[in-house]
Amino acid sequence: MNSSRAEDLASYSAPAVREGIQGIVSLAYSVDANGHPFHINLVLPLTDSLNSAAADMLQNTTFEVPSNWVANGGPTLRYQYREQYSMLRTGEHVDLDTEADIVITAKGSP
């Protein structure tokens, strides 16, 4: 299953940057016959603003599904989406979570 996303839908909210909040948001979801995520559930929360940003990113994703997706039970399957939020200061690098589907970084001081 492939996906396509509009650029920059996920964001590191200004309050989260100011507070230096870092971590993972994890969501569980299914994909309908048209490739749209549904039954999106928060599995691992972080903050309200980052939880919402991750859910918005997923909600605005369209997956390419095969023509036999429904016949093969595709919409009954569950998937997990993980978004990592990390703060970077000049000269630093982020330690990536190997399970993260996307990494959002903020540069500079909070």
Dump pLDDT digits (tens) for 16-51.
878 888 888 999 999 999 999 999 999 999 999 899
- pTM flag (> 0.75): no
What b/e string do you get for 33-71 counting C-beta neighbours within 10 Å, with b at 16 or more?
Answer: eebebeeeeeeeebbebbbebbbebbeebebebeeebee
Query: Across all residues in the chain, what is the average pLDDT?
Result: 77
